[in-house]
Amino acid sequence: MNAFKRDKKEEEDGGGNPFQNLEKTTVLQEARTFNDTPVNPRKCAHILTKILYLLNQSEQLSTMEATEVFFAMTKLFQCRDIVLRRLVYLGIKELSSLAEDVIIVTSCLTKDMTGKGDLYRAAAIRALCTITDGGMVAAIERYMKQAIVDRSPAVSSAALVSSLHLSRVSGDVARRWANEAQEALNSSNVMVQYHALGLLYQARKTDKHAVIKLVSKLTRTSPKSPYAACMLIRMACKILDEVDDDEELLGFISSCLRHKSEIVVYEAAHAWFNLGRVGTKEITPAISVLQLFCGSQRPAHRFAAVRTLNKVAMTHPGVVTACNLDLENLITDSNRSIATLAITTLLKTGAESSVDR
Amino acid sequence: MDGQLLEPTLYTVKGMAILDNDGNRILAKYYDKNLFPTPKDQKMFEKNLFSKTHRANAEIIMLDGLTCIYKSNVDLFFYVMGLSHENELILMSVLNCLYDSVSQILRKNVEKRAVLDSLDIVMLAMDEICDGGIILDADASSVVQRVALRTDDIPLGEQTVAQVLQSAKEQLKWSLLK
């Protein structure tokens, strides 16, 4: 009976999982095919996928095994098949912390990142920066600065994000490349704008005046990218937390309550409460935004609203009472987290009169 | 209010995962070493997450101090995790991008078998969406553009004769090997 059940299960899976029961040693043995010339892209891509799958299933490779696979993988650089090449980049990233002497691929990657195809270049930059250590940063600096201001958004984003990762390894990277990031900030691409702002903040965050200057310049033009806008709101909050009320910044945050992206609207409402300036006139629009979210079709919106209200209710129950009716509707929400949050919020704001309802 | 102001940082996403309908990992990535230091911790979290989400079609849950947004289809579960005070709608946009990219890659045929058949491309897509916890791209069509580059996806008319012959040869070879 049991065997029958299992058969049926496998049948449902459509013949079982081709990646199930992979043996680490067998796969590593198969990786020797990488040394064959000419390279068979299909076959090698399949084997490389198996290796990546094993790593993703958190199979442990010893340093020796990892190094051996890594070196076999470098042979695949002779093949121009684009999927295979992209998988090699992925493999380099995954193995960079396990294998030894990974810097051997530096020249291959620098060649790819300065080459023709934009798709190669972006991915090569990201792979290159994972194998770069503090001492090597100077060697790739020139290429990175160029890539940051590249006209391809994919390349520019990849370079900006990688620089941010690199600034954990080598502290002053962000500061040295800030001019390029400043230029990238003017990009019309929403993601490039977001990543550039992230790198600029990293470069200036120790200098309060520089941050204030950056923020006040950007708030006037209000970034197009919703992600960048959220980041800017957070930066403004950080400043407001330290200085006295700055009309301009407060004005910016309340103007974001009318942003066309819901992500930004919520971020702005959330920011109002976290600033702890309850009592100002802008609190009413922020509350009505959350009230609107309480009635949303999407559980994530309702959750976001009720979680924020719950936090506000802890310190300022009076402000939240306006939403009591909406919260009462959420008690029976099909999502348990939302229902629980709604109940605990009401316990803080509710009066005796509402208990009966 | 634990009222912490949100730190202005690009490191938003703490993890992404695709599980099957037994809660086993198909693909998963964790971007914060401090959160789940060992593979065992990750697996435990996934089991826990799955047991709490596989029945309730609720889209969002708080678990172990993380906000987890999820979505399921046929025999797959997609998750995106972030810190509990993170903007949920940002996480939501990442999840939508992950799901829509996979859906476009698999031509709307979002199920386990199809994901495993195109595992390489799905891996590349996950890598294009999030880089070390930073949202790299949240637009599904641009993600797909960056990864779905198989030559046999080019319509027959636009392939050269040599390419057609090559792929025919390979298919024959594989069918014989089976």
Considering only the beta carbons, identify the residue of A194, A263, A314 that sits closest to B1: A314
Q: Does B28 touch chain A (CB under 8 A)?
A: yes
CB B58 within 8 A of CB B42: no
Rounded CA-CA distance A273/A286 in Å is 8
CB-based burial, B120-133: b 16+ in 10 Å, e otherwise: bbbbbbbbbbbbbb
Please give chain B's pLDDT, 178 residues, in tens: 344 667 888 999 999 999 998 999 999 999 998 899 899 999 999 999 999 998 877 789 988 889 999 999 888 999 999 998 899 999 999 999 999 999 999 988 899 999 999 999 999 999 999 999 999 999 999 999 888 765 444 444 444 555 566 667 666 666 665 5
Beta bridge partners of B27: B18
Please name which of A123, A35, A117 lies closest in space to residue A79, comparing C-alpha atoms: A35
Angle A115-A76-B30 (CA atoms, 0-180°, nearest 5)? 85
Question: How many helices and strands, by DSSP H and E, does chain A display?
Answer: 22, 0
Q: What is the pLDDT of residue A351?
A: 60
Supply A54's token pair: 């094993």
- State pLDDT tens for residues A89-111: 999 999 998 988 898 899 899 99
Say how far residue A162 (Cα) sits from the centre of its chain: 12
Q: Do B60 and A14 touch (CB under 8 A)?
A: no
Chain B contact set for A234 (CB, 8 A): 5-8
Q: What is the pLDDT of residue B158?
A: 47
Rounded CA-CA distance A44/A25 in Å is 16
| Confidence band of A245 (pLDDT split at 50, 70, 90) | confident
Q: Does A201 touch chain B (CB under 8 A)?
A: yes
Q: Do A56 and B25 touch (CB under 8 A)?
A: yes
ipTM of the complex: 0.89
Considering only the beta carbons, identify the residue of A119, A164, A307 that sits closest to B146: A119
